[in-house]
Amino acid sequence: MADNTQYYGARWVRSESGQNEQPTPQRFRIASGYQPTAGGTNVDLHVGDPVTLLSTGYVQLMVGSEGTQTANWGVIVGFSPEFDGTVMQPRNKHVGGSGVYGTNFERQNYCYVVPAVGQVFEMDCDDNVTATTYAQYLALIGENVDMVLAADTTNANDPKATPRIDISTHNPATATLQARIIDISPTIANQDFSGNYVKLYVTFNKVQQAPYQTTGV
């Protein structure tokens, strides 16, 4: 058994209608000095992190089965420049606790998000016990599943939420789970189905957009 190459977060694949052009990302605000957490661990926001839209107008890191699961607005694909205390600095992530702008909204920072509805994403599974063969993964297609944030602080300067499929939560009948497995990824990175980080295609069930959710955020 050998682990498969680990890829980060949710990666856009295509639309459910088969279109191969990524939808235009939407701009959302990050609160001043926002500190994301994954299961109680402080992390940074990265491309590939799913986010939830709040009634405050800001987004936060989506919570998976490591806590009380939240609905998904979409997946981060980029960031605006962020105020570093002196100037607006280009960023490829949001450093937890940084970007303090208070009520100086001209210094506000943003992330760019691909909406979850109607889109297919590739994600890594979080264990190599629930399924260990191609046939066993094949049998999971069509089932619902939760996400999990598996905080990774190996690099203290770049802590990651590491969103994955919580494959042990798979269930065909539980409609409240966050995503649905629709296929096994054909990627060459799926080298060993008995190893960790098998890649599957998913769509998100628990979303915030109307008409799928009829109340506001």
Q: How confident is the model over 33-51, as pLDDT tens digits?
A: 999 999 999 999 999 999 9
Side-chain-facing half-sphere of 163: CA atoms under 13 Å:
30
- What are the backbone dihedrals phi and psi of residue 134, each rounded to the nearest 5 degrees, phi first? -60, -40
Distance, in Å, from the CA atom of 125 to the CA atom of 194, rounded to the nearest integer, reads 12
Question: What's residue 19's pLDDT?
Answer: 77
Residue, of 212 and 191, whose pLDDT is higher: 191
Amino acid at 54: L
Q: Each residue of 159-169: pLDDT tens digit?
A: 999 999 999 99
DSSP strands (E only) in 45-151 = 45-46, 50-53, 59-61, 74-79, 82-83, 88-89, 93-94, 109-115, 119-124, 144-149
Distance, in Å, from the CA atom of 76 to the CA atom of 20, rounded to the nearest integer, reads 18
